Amino acid sequence: MKGAIATVDFFASNPDKAPDRLSLVIDCPQRSSSGEDWQCRVALADLYPAETVVGRDSVEALCLAVARARVWIADLRANDRALTRDRAGESPFELS
């Protein structure tokens, strides 16, 4: 994604198949065209389409993007996906 300020690759696996490599990307917050609020895009490649969250200021928009990413990650775990920083599954992935 163009304008990304934060990216991380991690792996999601389940007992039935090899781990999938996923990329979480958060763009730089930008003022909306109306000038009244801020927008920030977030995407979890190949699983969730990019979403644009809206906040009253750039910090709120960024926090909302991280919150959206946490929901997606919780959803993966709820569907019995193990999340790791490496393909071998030795280093757990957490979004603190």
Distance from the first to the final alpha carbon of the chain: 22
In a domain, 92, yes or no: no
In a domain, 39, yes or no: yes
In a domain, 95, yes or no: no
> In which residue are the tokens 């190949």 written?
46
**In the 8-state DSSP scheme, what is residue 15?**
T
Q: What is the pLDDT of residues 47-72, one digit of tens each?
A: 888 999 999 999 999 999 999 999 99
In a domain, 65, yes or no: yes
Who has greater pLDDT, 95 or 11?
11
Predicted TM-score (pTM) of the model is 0.88
Number of structural domains (the chain) is 1
> In which residue are the tokens 């696996």 written?
13
**How many angstroms separate the CA atoms of 77 and 45, rounded?**
16
CB 2 within 8 A of CB 68: no
In a domain, 20, yes or no: yes
In a domain, 43, yes or no: yes
